[in-house]
Structure 1
Amino acid sequence: MQTTLEILTHPLLADVKHGFFTRKGGASSGLFSGLNCGRRSTDQSDMVQLNRGRVASAMGVPATGLATVKQVHSADVVTLDLDDDVTAVREICADGIVTARSDVALAVLTADCQPILLSDPDMGVIGACHAGWRGAIGGVIEATVKAMQGLGAHNIRAVIGPSISQPAYEVGDDFMDEFIAEDSTFDRFFGQGPKGKPMFDLPAFGLMRLREAGVEAEWSRHCTYSDPERFFSYRRSTHEGQADYGRLISAIAR
């Protein structure tokens, strides 16, 4: 069994410890083969715990220092203060988490949605958010930036990690209509697919929201759907008729 983790990094976040973990190097098997870190998946809980422990070790924190939230596709963000219990925070329904603490690693789970890692290295403030289409249009990106600014951040950089790309993201007309009803200029994030259906560019939409919030931002340009050897994908698992799917993890620490 391969135990070497594959961790993708980006030069924009070179001043902080961070990583977009692929599925390589994990202990799970079957549908979840590799580094599945999803507590709410139907994978064996001890395997998920082992995988998360490997991530924590790679990030230089104890297993109890890997801070996540219960993701619900919301625009809610948790600020992790010095006295907060990381284990308790894991039960809070939210999709963003920020802190100025140096003893934890913030992490989000994804399987096509955008994992966004953010940092102001000068002020020692970091953040992470889970931004699928619903969270992105709902304001989770802006809420994460605002929460970081509340801790003193003012020069924020962000990287969007492995996400589903436009060529793999066919949506319905009602989906596109919802975006255009929000802002008519959002039609630029949709192309026409080979079947005549709209194709949505989620990472481009995320980059726009970050940059309009005053954040210097880039996308890693990895597509979760098109690379099954490295990434879990909810949409790919659905197309293949699978009963469940693994969750990737992305983490950042000071």
Structure 2
Amino acid sequence: MTAPFETASSLGSVPHGFFGRRGGVSTGDLASLNCGLGSGDDPALIAENRRRATEAVLPGAALTGLYQVHGNRCIIIDKGSDLATRPEADALASKTPGILLGILTADCVPVLFADREAGVVGAAHAGWKGAIAGVTDATLDAMESLGARREDIAVAIGPCIGRASYEVDDGFVQRFLADDPANERFFAAGRADHAMFDIAAYVAARLAAAGLTRIAIGGQDTYADAESWFSYRRACHKNENSYGRQLSVIGLR
């Protein structure tokens, strides 16, 4: 059995998918396609969920993973990589067929990259810390080192927390304004001393500033749609014991 997933037209025929919480075997607050190794879920259930996702996108492929730390490091995966380890990083790049690059999120931004002409793909986990630190820039650099051309790279921004659900305090806003005053455009007015942050638009703007012209934004709000997506912030607000992680993948045949 496989699991349902969403795709982005910008990535064309490159095997990829944004998975939500449907189509898996986990139960309770983590139902049902929880793919998060750090979620406290039964490892056997997580393994089955990850297998279903892999078979849905690229049957027989080897799924990679990271110990995500909200940084800006990108790992290159090749034929000699040990796929059983989870290095501390937040992005992956590869030109090796038969490997699925996997990123876990639960409100943060999953970003999938592909240069179909060069046969190079990438995937990044962009939480706000990694986004402002340049995790997408690091992914582009790694892809270029594998032969990709920036003008040929297409990108898809997957399900993440939407601006209407992402309230931040004034200190958060000031971090972004100190980095670039133009970042003010990604914040909408909120209650006193707070604002609403559009992290997907921020990531898209970073990609555009890096020279990319084919950028798709899915527009889903992980916090607002509890039936379709896991959400760290929603789980905290509901005092749930844990929270699931959705998987986003991309690879080459």
User: Which one of 30, 33, 36 corresponds to residue 31 of structure 2?
Assistant: 33
Residue matched to 1:119: 114
Q: What TM-score do you get using the length of structure 1 for normalisation? A: 0.95
* Aligned residue in 1 for 2:126: 131
2:180 aligns with 183
Q: TM-score, normalised by structure 2?
A: 0.95
Equivalent residue number for residue 202 of structure 1:
199
Aligned to 1:96: 91
Q: What is the alpha-carbon distance in structure 1 between the residues aligned to residue 45 and residue 13 of structure 2?
A: 32
Structure 1 Cα separation of the partners of residues 81 and 28 of structure 2: 36
Other structure's SS at 1:185 match:
helix
3-state SS in 1 of match to 2:29: helix
Residue 153 of structure 2 corresponds to 156
Cα distance change, pair 18–190 in 1 and its aligned pair in 2 (3 A): same
For the residue of structure 2 that corresponds to 1:48, the secondary structure is helix
Residue type at the aligned position of 2:246: L
Give, in angstroms, the shift of residue 60 of structure 1.
2.1
What is residue 11 of structure 1 aligned with on the other side?
Answer: 9
8 A Cα contact 1:5 1:22, kept in partner? no
Give 1:20 deviation, angstroms.
0.3
- Look up the match of 1:167: 164
- State which of 116, 140, 146 in structure 1 corresponds to 2:141: 146
Aligned match of 2:224: 226
**Counterpart-to-counterpart distance in 2, 1:61 and 1:67:** 14
Distance 1:151 1:229, change over 3 A: same
> 1:67 offset after TM fit, Å?
0.9
Offset of 1:108 from its aligned partner?
A: 0.1
Distance across 2 between alignment mates of 1:184 and 1:197:
17
Aligned length: 249
1:85, distance to aligned residue in structure 2 (A): 1.7
What stretches of structure 2 of length at least 5 have no aligned partner? none
Q: Alpha-carbon deviation of 1:59? A: 2.2
Q: CA deviation at 1:61?
A: 4.0
Q: What is the identity percentage for the equivalent residue pairs of Structure 1 and Structure 2?
A: 41
Matches of 1:177 and 1:84, distance apart in 2: 40
Decide whether the 8 Å contact of 2:113 with 2:122 is kept in 1: yes
Q: Do residues 85 (structure 1) and 78 (structure 2) align?
A: no
Contact kept, 8 Å, 1:13 with 1:158, in 2: the verdict is yes
Question: For 2:251 and 2:192, how far apart are their aligned partners in 1?
Answer: 43
Q: Indicate whether 1:59 and 2:57 are aligned.
A: yes
What is the distance in 2 between the residues matched to 1:75 and 1:62?
A: 30
* Aligned partner letter, 2:161: I
User: 2:100 corresponds to which residue?
Assistant: 105
* Residue from 220, 225, 243 that aligns with 2:241: 243
RMSD: 1.2
Q: Is the 8 A contact 1:26 1:51 kept in 2?
A: yes
Provide the C-alpha distance between the structure 2 equivalents of 1:61 and 1:251, rounded to a whole number of angstroms. Answer: 13
Is the CA contact (8 Å cut-off) linking 1:4 and 1:24 kept in structure 2? no
| CA displacement at 1:4 relative to structure 2 | 5.8
